[in-house]
Amino acid sequence: MWSPGHIAKAKKKIAEFVKVVNYVLEVRDARAPFATGAYEREKLFRGKRSVIVLNKSDIADESTTKSWEEFYRNRGESVLVTKKGDRSRKLLRALFGEGKNVKALIVGLPNVGKSSFINRMRGRRSLRVGGVPGITRGVQWIQVNDRVKILDTPGILYSELFSKELAAKLLLVGSITIEKVDDWEIREIAFEILRKRYPSVVRNIAGDVSSFEEFIESFGRRRGMVQKGGSVDREKAAHKFFHDMYIGRFGKMSFESPEDVFSE
């Protein structure tokens, strides 16, 4: 698993390597592009040419992803929307055109799909990827083809975990996992984000419930997570629920849109 120590080390490496690359690819989770952009971007990139890569678009809401794409484009950013199964040739052309001697650094929060994206660009699976954050440990150069080299890096985060709402969104997309979030208030905020945006999904999962307590209770009972004595194992139920969220098992969903993040 990752820890603040690993993250600090990764940031140091990124700051060092950013000097020798000509591109920075910022991978974010399309379901929460603002929340998964929460790291010291300006400080780390220092004016390098960067591309915002909205990954996992297969499990995000399509029209919300379009709004994000437009939003960032209007701010003068380059954006690439991608998902599992995208073809290597198409991605390389969109990112680097006919460019030669491309050296790109890939950065992003844990578990957003950085290593998977490199495998996708290479057209084969060679880097280890996984459902939990902290799979990539050190930085390493990957030769994609004779024109393109990419530096994979471990996921990074702010060292201080900011607002509870941000933590809740990162929990929904799996950049921080439920094992690390024993604060039920953050879990509850995550649930409220979901309920506000997708009340029908909540109903499908757990029926008519009026609180997170009731939701977990009903979800756990429906999944048979009942302990001796008949009570629901709430911890187990919460783990199952959030793990299923990370991987998009409940359908295509986005947890924020530009209007709610930038509405003043």
Ligand X SMILES: Nc1nc2c(ncn2[C@@H]2O[C@H](COP(=O)(O)OP(=O)(O)OP(=O)(O)O)[C@@H](O)[C@H]2O)c(=O)[nH]1
Q: Which residues bind ligand X (CB under 6 A)?
A: 55-56, 58-59, 83-84, 108, 110-116, 129-131, 133-136, 154-155, 248
Residue 42 CB contacts under 8 Å (≥ 6 apart), including other chains: none
* DSSP H helix total and E strand total for the chain: 11, 6
Nearer to ligand X, 37 or 134 (CB): 134
Helix (H) or strand (E) holding 26: strand 23-29
Nearer to ligand X, 154 or 258 (CB): 154
Footprint (CB under 5 A) of Mg ion, residues 107-126: 114-115
Helix (H) or strand (E) holding 149: strand 148-152
Q: Quote the least distance from Cβ 130 to Mg ion, whole Å.
A: 8
Q: Quote the least distance from Cβ 136 to ligand X, whole Å.
A: 3
Nearer to ligand X, 10 or 190 (CB): 10
3-state secondary structure 169-233: HHHHHCCCCHHHCCCHHHHHHHHHHHHHHCHHHHHHHHCCCCCHHHHHHHHHHHCCCECCCCCEC
Binding mask 123-162 toward Mg ion (x if CB under 5 A, else -) reads ------------xx--------------------------
Q: Quote the least distance from Cβ 89 to Mg ion, whole Å.
A: 23
